[in-house]
Structure 1
């Protein structure tokens, strides 16, 4: 089930959002709360675990940025927040970014824009099977914690080297692999080549502290998808997933540039 909040004083905007949500009702059970002011919006966010919230910036009672700033610590503190307005001033944008809003829809928008965001939330909530490969148990634990902080959901498994990773990959379960470069025995490049022999569809990202031109050329040759430069963050994982799933980058996304070989560069819409 997906719980969605629509908060807007305009009945026209509420109807457009609801039409975009309805596109997905045949495949998903979706519960929608519709309110017309900020106080009512905050009450819903406190009482229910909302997954996706469409919130007008200029709500009466409490403004959209004030509502978003109050979400932390509620049942809905991990919800995907989409702000809506005819325009967005600097103060509102700074507040929304600071409080981890996801995207901005400029009015008037189309129901397809809403439908795409609902589809994004569905993808984020669908656990992606991922394999962490590192000979250090400490680094595997740290990487797991970073993945758990991402907006995306993961089904996480671990391997302590290339041999155990290849054994796990033969199950056909995994869609993504995060591998260290420096490992005893076969290194990350050799592992990537072996994974490519099994599947061309698995995303393989190398965790590295230094991306030399030689390493980049070698990585491209064996089919590595890109690099995650250490230390990386949950926001960097979000960027990887947006590329891997070909989801447009959000207005308020936080990321740094990453070297990527085969995913198209997603642009903010």
Structure 2
């Protein structure tokens, strides 16, 4: 994350099964200032949304359906609609199209899970620092265009080889690396192996046009968090980023 001071506003709606204290404590440790407001009822949530700007809304899935619809309708009608995340005990209950929400996340049961959720919330609204590594200038331009069309904001840097990537990562903070599998010199797997030793927390997405099914297995074994086979599209990138952020996408109902 960038060091620029940016404040985000979050509204937490509903209370059943949501540890508010854990969320507040996690928000205080978020990578950016995160102001958290709370609303126990749908009428209160709708009123708060109408009165002020919010970047993120966390909605307890235990809310009655009519209350849920009231809150989401109000959120969608905002001049700048917030990113709406449903909090659920069981993510399998919510396949695409079952809720009008941008994503569903598991209700945090511990402090560490609450911190991960807050970090994901920030990443939905504040650019993640992303390093793209590919030896082809044409492919870098194409992937950059695709990344720029993602629903998630990203601040993109780029380089053409693995060693340069390792040097850039050593000098600066990156959240995500999109790494080509086939590169001259230090290839993708070798770069990833070194990266896992020096910067184990960075999320790494391996990209390749190689149709061999064993390529993905080798990439996963080397420590890749996700895998994209070229050609890929903005929806494919979004699906990967949802997963990296610990969120599950949801198509809007209707």
TM-score band by shorter chain is 0.5 to 0.7
Asked if the contact 1:45/1:76 (under 8 Å) is kept, the reply is no
Give, in angstroms, the shift of residue 210 of structure 1.
4.4
Q: Identify unmatched segments of 5+ residues in structure 2.
A: 1-6
Distance 2:170 2:13 in 1: 47
Q: 1:84 to 1:195 in 2, by over 3 A?
A: closer
Q: Unpaired runs of 5+ in structure 1? A: 106-110, 256-269
Note closer, same or farther for the CA distance 1:195–1:205 as it changes in structure 2 (3 Å cut).
same
- Say if 2:177 and 2:204, in contact at 8 Å, map to a contact too: yes
Residue 258 of structure 1 is matched in structure 2 by none
Find the partner of 1:253 among 245, 249, 253.
Answer: 249
- State the 1:131 CA deviation: 0.8
Q: CA deviation at 1:123?
A: 4.4
Provide the TM-score with structure 1 as the length reference: 0.61
Question: Aligned residue for 1:261?
Answer: none
Aligned residue-pair number: 225
After superposition, give the CA deviation of every residue in 1:46-102 in whole Å (9 maximum; x if it has no partner).
Answer: 42214242345227xx521342244235256243423579xxx98x98441x43242
| Greater Cα radius of gyration, structure 1 or 2 | 1
Is residue 2:67 matched to residue 1:67?
A: no
Do the aligned partners of residues 211 and 113 (structure 1) sit closer, same or farther apart at CA in structure 2, a change above 3 Å counting?
Answer: farther
- Matched residue, 1:176: 176
Cα distance in structure 2, aligned partners of 1:198 and 1:93 = 35
Are 1:179 and 1:205, in contact at CA under 8 Å, matched by a contact in 2?
yes
Return the match for 2:238 from 213, 234, 240.
234
Cα 1:42/1:220, change in 2 over 3 Å = closer
Work out which structure has the larger RCO, using CA pairs closer than 8 Å and 6 or more positions apart in sequence.
Answer: 2
CA distance in 1, matches of 2:88, 2:242: 22
Report the equivalent of 1:267.
Answer: none
Hey, what does 2:193 align to over in structure 1?
Answer: 196
Q: Which residue of 2 aligns with 1:81?
A: 85
Q: 1:172 to 1:44 in 2, by over 3 A?
A: same
In structure 1, the residue matched to 2:118 is: 121
> Contact (CA 8 Å) 2:8, 2:54: kept in 1 or not?
no
Partner of 2:131: 131
Contact preservation (8 Å) 1:51, 1:76? no
Distance across 2 between alignment mates of 1:199 and 1:114: 25
Matched, 1:23 2:19: no
TM-score w.r.t. structure 2 length?
Answer: 0.64
Distance verdict in 2 for CA 1:100–1:165, change over 3 Å: same
